[in-house]
Amino acid sequence: MSEIASRVIAECRRIAAMSEEQGRTTRRFLTPAMQAVHDHLRARMEALGMTVRVDAAGNLHGLWRPANAPARRLLIGSHIDTVPDAGAFDGVLGVVMALEFVELAKEMQLPLAIELIAFSDEEGVRFGIPFIGSRAVAGRFDHSLLERKDADGITMADAIRAFGLDPALMEEATLDENAAGLLEIHIEQGPVLEAEKLSVAAVTTIVGQTRLSLEFAGEANHAGTTPMKLRRDALAAAAEWIGGVEQLARSTDGLVATVGKIAVEPNAGNVIPGKATVSLDVRHAWDSVRSGAVKQLLENAQGIAERRGIAVQHQVQLEQPAVPMDERLTSFVTDAIEAAGMPVKRMTSGAGHDSMVLAARVPTTMLFLRSPGGLSHHPGEAVLEEDVDAALSVGRFFLNRAAADIR
């Protein structure tokens, strides 16, 4: 199967060139770069004999339904948007692999209908809110999001209209009762499989996430004339707090916490910062541990602010509980891994995925592929041909099991 694996990797790299930026892969929700990906994938789907449509959230759907297939169908998909300066495989690999799984089902003459979904937005880069595409498909889209604006002042509703879609038809994106289950194929985005010298793994749980922003508000003043003891330095307060974030995460098993974004005002070298706004991302497989950590960190921020004579406030942007994958569908994955002659690895996903949103609507499972170097959200992101081959072998057994189960 190495020829197919080579084709998969080349296809992902071809799609990576469909970008908003020359020399970098950046593809946000409903931009012209995404339209280019739609056009490319549509041509491939239609060549396979699939029926293609785009829903009001910009998700691209392709349906393969052989004549002897039942009404119920298997969903396979992932996302096609990226972070800025991304790699070629996050999300896109799952869509390209879904096409290959359709090829396999066709070759094996399975009585199985497959719907491929290329989700329009998982990363949340353009409008600051993730999972736009999968929220719509899961029937969980909040219409107030349509008024959110991007960095250019364009509302989400206008972006949807500019893509030739109608935001008033959002409910039509919701899955019907004939969706039997979802498989998402994805790179691990971490170092575990590489450390254990494994190609693939079955995901059992996607960790819970809290994302929020904190604003430390002090007083801007002259850097040369204001004594240290009289300063109300917002950035210094934020820096002290950030050190505590790392300390707590390092001392709590399984907890990861990240401050990845800082905005400082007035942001001048000779002015004491009057305002510092920072992000916080906290994740853990157990919701009680995550929520306890967030509570402690917010209390720490308040204590630092009071001691330094400044104010602090926070705004929650995402509160996502941990999501277990469907046990039965996941057993299909683990059985397929074993049948393909590989060690069975079950693991937790530390990253969020469209699957965590769809799991509330339809039985959902995930198959991870090794990430060389543990790299993701990085131009150096890669996939090994041997791991794609392994996933295709797993796919044959998984599709056979799904075809026998879905009636």
Same domain, 11 and 47: yes
Look at strands 179-187 and 200-206 and give their pairing.
Answer: unpaired
Residue 316: CB atoms within 10 A of its CB come to: 11
Choose one of 320, 353, 370: the last residue of a domain: 320
Question: What is the domain count for the chain?
Answer: 2
Residue position matching structure tokens 């769809």: 358
Q: What's the pLDDT score for residue 267?
A: 98
Choose one of 320, 349, 372: the last residue of a domain: 320
Residue 229: CB atoms within 10 A of its CB come to: 5
Same domain, 183 and 46: yes
Q: What CATH number is associated with residue 278? A: 3.30.70.360
Same domain, 98 and 25: yes
Write the CA distances from 319 to 290, 322, 359, integer angstroms: 10, 10, 16
Q: What's the pLDDT score for residue 75?
A: 98
Choose one of 265, 293, 320: the last residue of a domain: 320
Q: What CATH number is associated with residue 353? A: 3.40.630.10
Mean pLDDT in runs of 10 for the chain (407 residues)?
A: 91 98 97 98 98 98 96 98 98 98 97 98 95 97 97 98 98 97 97 97 95 97 97 98 98 96 98 98 95 98 98 93 96 98 96 94 98 96 98 98 95
Q: Looking at the chain, how many residues does it have?
A: 407
Same domain, 379 and 248: no
Same domain, 87 and 185: yes
- Cα distance from N-terminal residue to C-terminal residue, the chain: 30
Same domain, 102 and 202: yes
Same domain, 143 and 91: yes
Same domain, 141 and 257: no
Q: What's the pLDDT score for residue 1?
A: 56
Same domain, 135 and 250: no
Q: What's the pLDDT score for residue 114?
A: 98
Same domain, 343 and 312: no
Distance CA 245, CA 291 (A): 14
Residue 6: CB atoms within 10 A of its CB come to: 13
Q: What's the pLDDT score for residue 2?
A: 83
Q: Record the pTM.
A: 0.86
Q: What's the pLDDT score for residue 165?
A: 98
Q: What's the pLDDT score for residue 352?
A: 87
The secondary element (H helix, E strand) that includes residue 365 is: strand 364-369
Which value, in Å, is the radius of gyration of the alpha carbons in the chain?
A: 23
Three-state DSSP class for residue 188: coil
The domain containing residue 222 runs over which residues? 208-320
Distance CA 402, CA 328 (A): 11
Same domain, 239 and 167: no
Same domain, 30 and 92: yes
The secondary element (H helix, E strand) that includes residue 240 is: helix 234-250
